Structure 1
């Protein structure tokens, strides 16, 4: 029996390593997005500072480990076998859940997931135990769950959302009002003081307030005091010396090495936030396995008591995690931080929502976001009528948009003033939570601080606000979904193991492995698809010849995809193959998204082309419009076909099927000729192409006449005719826009190169 539970402990630590990997992939966004988004330094330097912060922060996480042992439930009410069931259910759920969110690039909270997993699994095991004793669950459950502590943790997590957003917005507003967007001037005079204050604040909250939970808190110094006591008694002196040291150092770096002050603040802030993250969140990844290992050692030391009878009251006492475990965990986190591609996907989401300029928005608009923007806009108008115009003009002048990087090809998403505020505010709030032994969600705090600073910085203007707010709602909705899923899945796993026997654990481990492998495959396919799209995506910095080349590739791929959708869609429709129609629909959706993405960027590219010729710009816009209309034609033809089959309406007659098959083959051959012409960029035979289009249109007219005859002979019904004519109308639209697309491409190339 001892060997069995030893295997389970090993499994717990194996799951912990996996959890560290998927957890850091998700949480890296918390301390990387500000430095990366503001391009404060090369990525290797950013990752180096973050890695050092993670390693140091790991040694400050000792005090937080008690949350996993006794923060959610009363361990003295459970036996060893039950505790191991709870812990295994938690770790299995955590690996699956976090990996799933990482795959789709959505930042979620490792703190919320671990808290609700502990709660769900503890409740499930407690219910089984109470029922087994024949007692009332409602009356007895409170004896097993540490409801007051759990409620305090959950309340703290929820409050942190509003506090982080509000403080982030307030501090950003004050900072921007002082420095404005033209901050380089004021930085010459007040930069060292700003940097000194920011770093001193970080020093106080992380090193002084955060010392309580560190591995070094009880180290004695020469005076006989512990390190924690010395810092407590000399707080004022430490802060004063810290402020003076940083002011002098920052100014010397500026004068001697020409290192910009804000770069120093951002890099120190990155170190601090990474440290705060590790100090607060390491418990989320290794707290449960460490508690499981401690439980196993206590049980072994008991001298052979049955695991179903050995009380876990020892978990309620003080705990101390060996520093080597903390450092090993820190190293795993650092390696993951550097290697993980999923971490980059999550980082992109937050930077996209907080960037200063408008552009391609990842999220669509929602009714709630539209109502909020409309309400705030109306309130602002009324407020401006009441306030003196001079006051309003003063504020407006301080927030007047300006960028020092406007003409750079790879401009930052936001400036270093905002990055500094993000890092300082978030690291301080997290450090406060750590000192109070409250496992705040670092994701919630850093994300909401970033959103608050974005709001105050007027990054959410009338052009982008609805999309950014919808994105925030989507992420927050994912957080609540995390809590619900974590509680339910962990509870279900614990319940099944409790009822089915301990060997059921290995079934769930196999499920976890399968899920991780499956999501990795999905992530790789999504990454490959995105890479293929990005390869031909026209960027703002592309030269004219590159734009010509990429636009031709886009057209060729669009024509090939259109032909494939038409052939597969028509074949599936005529054979009533619903699966084939769904595949055609998916391909059509991808085609439409690509066309829409190109259209959304058309005026940014057109603005660049205006430097060459107004005619060039005109033909480029026409080209994108015709490509979009071709995608519409395919969609409007395919959609009613799918509805017809889904509703089990009568299939088309043999004559109709023969006519449509022949017509689609002709259209497909025509599109291949168009593709060949665009690929070779030889447009001399365009008149022959027009003749080919006219010939197909004549076939369409002939088919329509045959359909009228079938209607007159009552061989088909009204629904059949509506769909048949709709298909022919959209095919004609497709042909028309295909010809116009080729002409626009020809004129675009001709006017650009001559």
Structure 2
């Protein structure tokens, strides 16, 4: 009788490991963003500090494990079989949901996901039991611990607003005090700031870290009744230590704050969020142990005993901590989520991950209007004073190392860590539930807004990114509830659904991992902003040649796909080709967006090459737009179920396709190998192809007059031929431009080569 549940426990153990991996990949953003974004500490040192914090937090997390057992539902209303079904549904849903968000590079809350998964699965099982007993629907409240669930939800919603507001206020006044020149402030001011910051973080470590340990009860009396004295003494001690470090050892106290803050938030993450990953499997193990000793049937044994406090296994906590640390060092998805947070809060300009939307535009316009109102009220002297505090010093960054510049300075990184630590400490001491992800992310966003990191050039993109992330959080709750309910109901119908869902988990996690790896490789190939290595004519030649080779070879494949799929009337493949064409156009648009940084990176004697580079991108865009129009028109034609092209039309298109692909291949190889002397021969071949396209147009005109023809087919055919003409013409213009530039700069490049 117990065999199915033993297998379920084994499955839950495997799922727990997977959940730890995907959970850490998501939550690493909470405690690594500030240290990595500010580049205050070497990356290896940051990881070591975070790893120690995670281990310490894992050991102190035992007090949080009660949430999975009794925080959301009343266990005495469920039997053992119900509990195991609920736990299986929660773990399956949690892994799929978190893995999806990680693959998108979007930080979400593991706390919210686990809470709503427990709620969704418990509600559906309760409804099934109520229906089976013929009870009233109002009995549902006896099954669900609605007071705790409501408190958690309201606490999470409130934390979003409070964290953003407090982060903005603290950062604004910190910048007024220090501007962007922390080292130029008086020593006693820096020491006081260090004392305040370190006291806040140490208090956070004590409240958050020790509360889950077995010996907390022994010192609780001291902490509860002497808290003011402890905080005051800590402030004096850490202020003196900061003063000594600054004056005697010449230590930058901000780096110490960032290091200690990173440790504290890593510890909080493990202590607070470990329950989200292994709390359910541990609760399932406890349930099985209790049930197996009872000798009763799984469908009759009440699980009310789960309401009692059960001590956690320290070895299991340590094992979980070890898995978390390994994931922290190796997860590529964690890096993607971290990049999202840093990208939205960075001080400088650069590639924007998110696209603007109507809501972000409205928010930015309202902010500009409000700012104009403040400027109208404030005297000009006050405005000048405030603006002077936000003037960023120009940093002398060596060429080729722009991407190594910090995303923000040490002051903002310290504010992020201090504010998040204080807010989480206050909530913990008041026993208010909250999401560490929401607090740390919203503090960072509020601080970046107050620090004027969102300028006119980037505000609409950054606001859109924040809106997308926040909407993703609410979407997490809705999806978690519904998905967990569906999974639980299916498992309740038949335990064989567990096997099905485990296969789905394995497939989806493997698939998203492969897709993420592929996407990361594609992004690595794309050349984004601030490319300082393009400083000479040779650099321009190399860069533009790579772009041309890449684009023409891809266009050849895309054109071939369109013609082939159109001849077969294959709608699915045409849809896929249309998406690939969209990617190509987006990549060229991003290259054009980076022209500003490209021109700034050129040396004085190479500035003339900027015009050539701009024109090259313009011709490549014309080529991409032409193939884009051909792909969209073909997809639209087939999608509308119009008749296929006639044999004569397809024959001409296949001939054009063969000749065009041969020429595009020759162009791609020539630019890949830098064989520019062959361009003249290629230009002659292109003229022949243009003539063939023109002849095809005339043949179609003759067909229309001589025989019956479909108007839709004629429209599509003429569109393809005309866009093919534009494509070839753009390529001819590009080759002529390149040939002229190659000849006019040949002597200069040879001279540079000799040097």
Q: CA deviation at 1:406?
A: 4.9
Which residue in the other structure is 1:206 paired with?
A: 205
Which of the residues 409, 416, 427 maps onto 2:410?
416
Does structure 1 retain, via aligned residues, the 8 Å contact 2:533–2:539?
no
- Does residue 1:383 correspond to 2:374, yes or no? yes
Which residue in the other structure is 2:609 paired with?
A: 616
Which residue in the other structure is 2:300 paired with?
A: 309
Structure 1 portions without partners, runs of 5+: 219-225
Which residue in the other structure is 1:716 paired with?
A: 709
Q: Matched residue of 1:318: which SS?
A: coil
Does structure 2 retain, via aligned residues, the 8 Å contact 1:211–1:228?
no
Which residue in the other structure is 1:248 paired with?
A: 240
Cα deviations by residue, 1:355-374 (Å, 9 ceiling, x for unpaired): 11121111111000011111
Relative to 1, partners in 2 of residues 1:332 and 1:436: Cα closer, same or farther, differing over 3 Å?
Answer: farther
Which residue in the other structure is 2:79 paired with?
A: 79
Which residue in the other structure is 1:286 paired with?
A: 278
Matches within 5 A, 1:166-315: 166-186=165-185, 188-208=187-207, 211-218=210-217, 226-302=218-294, 304-315=295-306
Q: CA deviation at 1:327?
A: 2.4
Which residue in the other structure is 1:461 paired with?
A: 455
Q: Matched residue of 2:406: which SS?
A: coil
Q: Matched residue of 2:107: which SS?
A: coil
40-49 or 660-669, larger mean C-alpha shift: 660-669
Which of the residues 484, 493, 499 maps onto 1:490?
484
- Does residue 1:50 correspond to 2:50, yes or no? yes
413-422 or 434-443, larger mean C-alpha shift: 434-443
Which of the residues 647, 653, 678 maps onto 2:640?
647
Q: CA deviation at 1:74?
A: 0.9
- Does residue 1:31 correspond to 2:24, yes or no? no
Which of the residues 438, 443, 451 maps onto 1:449?
443
Relative to 1, partners in 2 of residues 1:418 and 1:708: Cα closer, same or farther, differing over 3 Å?
Answer: same
665-674 or 111-120, larger mean C-alpha shift: 665-674
- Does residue 1:527 correspond to 2:526, yes or no? no
Equivalenced residues, count: 743
Q: CA deviation at 1:416?
A: 1.1
Which residue in the other structure is 1:93 paired with?
A: 93
> What TM-score results when the alignment is normalised by the length of structure 2?
0.94
Q: CA deviation at 1:189?
A: 4.7
Relative to 1, partners in 2 of residues 1:40 and 1:187: Cα closer, same or farther, differing over 3 Å?
Answer: farther
Which of the residues 349, 352, 356 maps onto 2:347?
356
Instruction: Quote the Cα distance in structure 2 between the aligned partners of 1:208 and 1:575.
Output: 68
Relative to 1, partners in 2 of residues 1:696 and 1:508: Cα closer, same or farther, differing over 3 Å?
Answer: closer
Instruction: Quote the Cα distance in structure 2 between the aligned partners of 1:119 and 1:23.
Output: 19
Instruction: Quote the Cα distance in structure 2 between the aligned partners of 1:745 and 1:187.
Output: 58
Which residue in the other structure is 1:222 paired with?
A: none
Relative to 1, partners in 2 of residues 1:134 and 1:282: Cα closer, same or farther, differing over 3 Å?
Answer: same
Does structure 1 retain, via aligned residues, the 8 Å contact 2:188–2:243?
no
Q: CA deviation at 1:129?
A: 0.8
Instruction: Quote the Cα distance in structure 2 between the aligned partners of 1:295 and 1:477.
Output: 36
Instruction: Quote the Cα distance in structure 1 between the aligned partners of 2:432 and 2:504.
Output: 32
603-612 or 545-554, larger mean C-alpha shift: 545-554
Instruction: Quote the Cα distance in structure 1 between the aligned partners of 2:683 and 2:114.
Output: 65
Cα deviations by residue, 1:108-132 (Å, 9 ceiling, x for unpaired): 1100100000001100111111111
Relative to 1, partners in 2 of residues 1:417 and 1:537: Cα closer, same or farther, differing over 3 Å?
Answer: closer
Relative to 1, partners in 2 of residues 1:452 and 1:406: Cα closer, same or farther, differing over 3 Å?
Answer: farther
Relative to 1, partners in 2 of residues 1:388 and 1:127: Cα closer, same or farther, differing over 3 Å?
Answer: same
Instruction: Quote the Cα distance in structure 2 between the aligned partners of 1:80 and 1:573.
Output: 58
Instruction: Quote the Cα distance in structure 2 between the aligned partners of 1:134 and 1:677.
Output: 78
Relative to 1, partners in 2 of residues 1:436 and 1:403: Cα closer, same or farther, differing over 3 Å?
Answer: farther
Which residue in the other structure is 1:664 paired with?
A: 657
Q: CA RMSD, aligned part only?
A: 2.2
Instruction: Quote the Cα distance in structure 2 between the aligned partners of 1:246 and 1:84.
Output: 50
Which of the residues 597, 622, 641 maps onto 1:629?
622
Structure 2 portions without partners, runs of 5+: none
707-716 or 284-293, larger mean C-alpha shift: 707-716
Cα deviations by residue, 1:173-192 (Å, 9 ceiling, x for unpaired): 11111111233212645222
336-345 or 525-534, larger mean C-alpha shift: 525-534
468-477 or 256-265, larger mean C-alpha shift: 256-265
Q: Matched residue of 2:216: which SS?
A: coil
Relative to 1, partners in 2 of residues 1:423 and 1:696: Cα closer, same or farther, differing over 3 Å?
Answer: same
Which of the residues 328, 345, 348 maps onto 1:337?
328
- Does residue 1:62 correspond to 2:62, yes or no? yes
Does structure 2 retain, via aligned residues, the 8 Å contact 1:567–1:668?
yes
Q: Matched residue of 1:474: which SS?
A: helix
Q: CA deviation at 1:719?
A: 3.2
Relative to 1, partners in 2 of residues 1:558 and 1:469: Cα closer, same or farther, differing over 3 Å?
Answer: same
Relative to 1, partners in 2 of residues 1:13 and 1:676: Cα closer, same or farther, differing over 3 Å?
Answer: closer
Relative to 1, partners in 2 of residues 1:496 and 1:448: Cα closer, same or farther, differing over 3 Å?
Answer: same
Which residue in the other structure is 2:465 paired with?
A: 471
Does structure 1 retain, via aligned residues, the 8 Å contact 2:619–2:731?
yes
Which residue in the other structure is 2:577 paired with?
A: 584
- Does residue 1:321 correspond to 2:312, yes or no? yes
Which of the residues 417, 429, 434 maps onto 1:435?
429
Q: CA deviation at 1:21?
A: 1.2
Q: CA deviation at 1:431?
A: 2.9
Does structure 1 retain, via aligned residues, the 8 Å contact 2:159–2:439?
yes
Cα deviations by residue, 1:71-123 (Å, 9 ceiling, x for unpaired): 11111111122111111111111112111211221111100100000001100
Instruction: Quote the Cα distance in structure 1 between the aligned partners of 2:256 and 2:385.
Output: 30
Does structure 1 retain, via aligned residues, the 8 Å contact 2:529–2:594?
no
Instruction: Quote the Cα distance in structure 2 between the aligned partners of 1:677 and 1:618.
Output: 22
> What TM-score results when the alignment is normalised by the length of structure 1?
0.94
Cα deviations by residue, 1:477-497 (Å, 9 ceiling, x for unpaired): 211121111111111121122
Instruction: Quote the Cα distance in structure 1 between the aligned partners of 2:364 and 2:540.
Output: 36
Q: Matched residue of 2:81: which SS?
A: helix
